[in-house]
Amino acid sequence: IGPYSVIGRHTHVDEQATVQGSILWPNCRVGHNSVVTDAIVGRQCHLGRNVTVEAGAVIGDKTSLTDFTRLMTIDTSIFKAYDVRGIYPTELNEALARQIGRGFVAYLGARTIGVSRDMRVSSPGISAAFIEGAREQGANVIDYGMLGTDMLYYAVVRDGLEGGAQITASHN
């Protein structure tokens, strides 16, 4: 347990777990090899083995995180009315793109979607992560590779898909 941490009564931090700069309310358990950094963990929470809680995370009371979970914080200002716009890799990265892919499919209830990307250096990694998340959520994904946005729109309609995502740089 590192400096600037507050540990509540009846809270157990397993051997080889790390807690730094965090507040753990009473009756929590932090599993073996877990890392909690600059976070707030509510009452009666259970963090399994090898859990990572990144800086700025807030975990509500009676939450359980299963083994090997990684809890990251998201700058919600990247979510706009019709798209997601963030600076790579500080606001938007592969880990977040994977979660956005999952959320996209869950929100649409889609069985099949299309994904394409632009020529930016970061686009293949972001696209691959988005596709991985979409597939984890149960969707079939057609990876159209490098296309313009208008070409993806056409492909979604032509192929009868339930949605499409274009991975491209911001135009701010």
Which residues have CB under 8 Å from 85's CB, separation 6+?
78, 92, 170, 172
Two tokens at 72?
């990251």
Q: Which positions are catalytic?
A: 170
Distance CA 34, CA 50 (A): 4
Cα–Cα distance measured from residue 3 to residue 22, given in angstroms and rounded to the nearest whole number: 9
Alpha-carbon distance of 34 to 170, in angstroms, equals 36
What values do phi and psi take at 36, rounded to 5? Answer: -125, 120
CA distance 75 to 90: 10
Q: How far is 128 from 16, CA to CA, in rounded Å?
A: 34
